[in-house]
Structure 1
Amino acid sequence: MPKNSFIKDLASVFTSRVASLVLGLGTSIVTARYLGPEGNGVSAALLVYPSLFMAIGALGVQQSTTYFVGQKKYDLKEVYGAVLATWIFTSLVGIISSFLLIKYFTKGDYPNILIFWALAAIPFSLYTTYSSGIFLGQQNVKEFNRINWVPAIINLSFTFLLTGVFHFGVAGYMAATFLGVFFLSFLVVYKIRQSIPVRPRFNGKIIKGLLSLGVIYAGTTLIASLNYKVDVVLLEKWSNAHELGIYSKGAILVEMLWQIPAILSTIIFSRSAGAKDPAEFSLKVCRLLRFALILILLIAIAFYCLSDFVIGLMYGPAFAESSKVLKILMPGVLLMIIYKVLYMDIAGKGRPWMSMEAMIPAVIANVLLNYWWIPKYGASGSAMASTVSYSIAALVFLVLYSVHTRIPIKKIFTYTREDREFAMGIVNKLRGKIAPQPKATAPVPKEPSEESVNI
């Protein structure tokens, strides 16, 4: 199968991410208006453990599948069959372990119906996560992103219906979240079964290979997820649902900036796994990082200045304190862009464990600072702890990446003539697609080739 160009993949992922971002923002507004700070705090507390398990229960199967498919280590049918066999087992473990964590490690006495909706999404989310490794390994990013926005639109539609029209409260929002991943899993099955039999295959050699590399990916993902989610866990324990709701809305807004590197990370990981010249590819990843940082910094400045107005407009006066949370989190979120882009290159090269050296001290700092600051400052204290933690993780990983790839830190951030040519190539390519084609029969000068802008 021919490789998709970087521009085509970027356009596909960008469209999908923007759609998901806008729809997710709509869901966030609906829940703020109809659930209030306390209801948002309850839903955040219920979903934090299932989302953490997704980092463990996924076992890095998506990443190891991408790596194996990209390297063509095994027959595709055998790989997918082994993925399904693994999914059956981990789904059961995920439901049981998440139930025990919610039941016995949270402060609130939550109704069983809420716990049910929180757990019901686990097997369907895991299936979609596992199966996406097939698409990424084949560098078929465009195909997967055609349907990747489906959960967001279903979630928004049913959240409004169940919370705004029928007033089912937190239970309505939890049910809407489940329905989103439920329908997406069936779309993924439909796409995959067109070329691969959807049948579990208990191939011990492949399962062992997937898990032996996948456990490393899972460990790094778990540590990273802890760094993002530990503040929610600790706020639920050491504060109250109101403060948790205030924090969650501020964090959701500022973390939307991470959608920009997420657009790049899907492509970087899939292409890094099959790169013929890893050193040259890393230089191109650094180029993407430089462009991403400029774009995100400009957005962040506007976001910071308008945060009071935006939060008041979207969520109402009850969430006014979320603006302070957003502003405190902003520096750490910006620095984490460095980690999020560079990590996918390292992970694609089959060395995900490097991130642990950055994330473990960051998580420890996060926990200790939350312990000191939550009792004094509530949601703002947790935001301060997260910003310090994110900064530690990003800066330490930057040094590790520089050492591993032998690219000096100064070179990672220095803009070059090739950067300008790359940018102009993209602009010219987009102009060529937008501008009408000339009707003259005379030869028309060629646009820059796809190779000139192809990562």
Structure 2
Amino acid sequence: MVKNYSLAKDGISVFGTQMLTLIIGFVSGVLLARWLGPAGRGAFTALLVYPTILISLLSMGMRQATVYYLGRKKYSESDIVGVTLLLLISSSIIGVLTSVAIIAYTKNPDYNLMLILLASLTVPADLTINYFTGILIGKQKINKFNKITYLVPIINFVLIIFFVFVIKLYILGAVLATLIAKMGLAIYAVLSIKSQYSLKICCKSEIIKKMVSIGSVYALSLFILNLNYRVDIIILEHLSNVAEIGQYTIGVGFAELLWQLPAAFGLVIFAYSANAKDSNKFSQDIAKMVRIIFPVVLFGSVFLYFASGYIIPFLYGEEYIPSIKMLKILLPGIVMMSFFKIINMDLAGRGKPDITIKLFLPAVLINIVLNIILIPDFGGCGAAFASTVSYTLASISILYYYLRITQLSLRELFICNKNDFDFLLNVILKIIKGKNVSSKSN
């Protein structure tokens, strides 16, 4: 019960932080959409999509590998941190050079050398955040992780107003705001780790080999996931136009709001799963989380389906009305992926990231083929349909596998009972009580 409570408490804590960052990021997105217009918003999104995909590959799964090995306690923590630093420096250099080459190769007339360099520099910043926050998650320092997480959107929001609206740098300003915010968080993450460990490069070949070995599988898994999330934008850039990319991005952004809750719990579940002594018992805890979270996501999708027609034009303007239909087409796939994000993290915590590769790779290929077929005639709506099909097939595949290895039933995973609501209420009350006690002591 204690671990059950801690899992739920940390999950709610991360979700609360994500909601704060989401609100700030949401407002920033609305301002960018209005100030840049569909074409400018699309060009900005397309520019950063390449560094984003590169980060998922060059991270080499170090966040997950760090969490895994810190949980297993096989090597000393200082050696793990030292290896992490070595790999961070190496991957950052490769990332910047590769990003510059790829973006320059697209020969997009909207990108000049300054934009390409600034966008590429987000790679080492993001990698630093990724690598070092893995240490915090591995040590289950969720509160410190939360404090680091909400700095980016706050800094980004202020800088967007300054660079885009005040001095009117537009796309350049948006990229500058993104880079400076990420750099700020990267420095904060380094200082947080430096306060606990001596940041010295470690070259122990055994640890490097082990971390790279399991990390590369995590990285490939994450790369395939991110490719499936973003391949539609890449294909839209070549088969459509930047204005449609801007409209599609708004639809995707709204739909992915539903992922915040499962993503928050997925992050915590990964840390707890890596430290779990009894995997089968822990799966019962995961089932409880799915039973609580999935109905919330389902209800949210129904709300978005009917409310988006009013919300999107009000927030973004009439130019983004096409985003409404794209959002509605995406929603079924987004709902299916919500439980995937939870059970996939349990599998990753068990040291089975390769399952995602085996089950998701066919879905990526289907997504690519459908995008190529549908985008020329249906644009963003075709991309949305391709994503929904891909997400649904992948989620069903991993659900079947998860039920088989955990011996859980569909009923145990999806049908709520009275105890679930009592448990959730009890967790919320304990969190509120804990905060009250903390505030009084201060």
Shorter-chain TM band: over 0.9
1:39/1:170 contact within 8 Å kept:
yes
Partner of residue 452, structure 1:
none
Q: In structure 1, what is the Cα distance between the partners aligned to 2:186 and 2:437? A: 39
1:12/1:146 contact within 8 Å kept:
no
The one-letter code of the counterpart of 1:236 is: E
In the TM superposition, what is the alpha-carbon distance from 1:107 to its structure 2 partner?
4.8
In the TM superposition, what is the alpha-carbon distance from 1:406 to its structure 2 partner?
2.0
Q: In structure 2, what is the Cα distance between the partners aligned to 1:245 and 1:359? A: 27
Matched, 1:400 2:406: no
Summarize deviations over 1:241-283 as a string: whole Å, max 9, x none: 1111110111111111111111101110000000011101111
Counterparts in 2 of 1:9 and 1:414: CA distance versus 1, 3 Å? same
Q: In structure 1, what is the Cα distance between the partners aligned to 2:38 and 2:309? A: 17
How do residues 168-317 of structure 1 correspond to structure 2 at under 5 angstroms?
Answer: 168-317=169-318
1:275/1:281 contact within 8 Å kept:
yes
In the TM superposition, what is the alpha-carbon distance from 1:194 to its structure 2 partner?
1.3
In the TM superposition, what is the alpha-carbon distance from 1:421 to its structure 2 partner?
3.8
256-265 or 405-414: bigger deviation: 405-414
Summarize deviations over 1:220-243 as a string: whole Å, max 9, x none: 111111110100000001111111
In the TM superposition, what is the alpha-carbon distance from 1:435 to its structure 2 partner?
8.1
Q: State TM-score, norm by structure 2.
A: 0.95
Q: In structure 2, what is the Cα distance between the partners aligned to 1:329 and 1:291? A: 22
Considering fraction of residues, name the structure with more helix: 2
| Local SS of the residue matching 1:276 | coil
Q: In structure 1, what is the Cα distance between the partners aligned to 2:198 and 2:67? A: 18
How do residues 121-132 of structure 1 correspond to structure 2 at under 5 angstroms?
Answer: 121-132=122-133
Could you list the runs of 4 or more consecutive aligned residues of structure 1 that deviate by over 6 angstroms after TM superposition? 434-437
Partner of residue 376, structure 2:
375
Structure 1 unaligned segments of length 5 or more: list them.
438-455
The one-letter code of the counterpart of 2:240 is: S
Q: In structure 2, what is the Cα distance between the partners aligned to 1:427 and 1:213? A: 36
Summarize deviations over 1:93-126 as a string: whole Å, max 9, x none: 1111111211114654521111111111111110
Summarize deviations over 1:61-90 as a string: whole Å, max 9, x none: 100000000111111111001000001110
2:248/2:380 contact within 8 Å kept:
yes
Partner of residue 42, structure 2:
41
How do residues 105-184 of structure 1 correspond to structure 2 at under 5 angstroms?
Answer: 105=106, 107-108=108-109, 110-184=111-185
In the TM superposition, what is the alpha-carbon distance from 1:420 to its structure 2 partner?
3.9
1:77/1:196 contact within 8 Å kept:
yes
Partner of residue 348, structure 2:
347
Counterparts in 2 of 1:390 and 1:353: CA distance versus 1, 3 Å? same
1:135/1:141 contact within 8 Å kept:
yes
Partner of residue 72, structure 1:
73
Q: State TM-score, norm by structure 1.
A: 0.92
Q: In structure 2, what is the Cα distance between the partners aligned to 1:85 and 1:433? A: 40
Partner of residue 443, structure 1:
none
Q: In structure 2, what is the Cα distance between the partners aligned to 1:19 and 1:139? A: 21
Summarize deviations over 1:285-335 as a string: whole Å, max 9, x none: 111011111111222211111102111111111111111111111111011
Q: In structure 2, what is the Cα distance between the partners aligned to 1:40 and 1:197? A: 42
Q: In structure 2, what is the Cα distance between the partners aligned to 1:197 and 1:432? A: 37
Aligned Cα root-mean-square deviation (Å): 1.9
The one-letter code of the counterpart of 2:139 is: Q
| Local SS of the residue matching 1:46 | helix
| Local SS of the residue matching 2:408 | coil
405-414 or 288-297: bigger deviation: 405-414
Q: Determine what percentage of the aligned residue pairs are the same residue.
A: 34
In the TM superposition, what is the alpha-carbon distance from 1:436 to its structure 2 partner?
9.5
Summarize deviations over 1:429-451 as a string: whole Å, max 9, x none: 256458899xxxxxxxxxxxxxx
Matched, 1:93 2:89: no
Counterparts in 2 of 1:17 and 1:436: CA distance versus 1, 3 Å? closer
Structure 2 unaligned segments of length 5 or more: list them.
none
Report the count of equivalent residues. Answer: 436
1:239/1:378 contact within 8 Å kept:
yes
The one-letter code of the counterpart of 1:30 is: L
Q: In structure 2, what is the Cα distance between the partners aligned to 1:302 and 1:317? A: 21
Partner of residue 384, structure 1:
385
Counterparts in 2 of 1:410 and 1:106: CA distance versus 1, 3 Å? farther
209-218 or 298-307: bigger deviation: 298-307
1:107/1:236 contact within 8 Å kept:
no
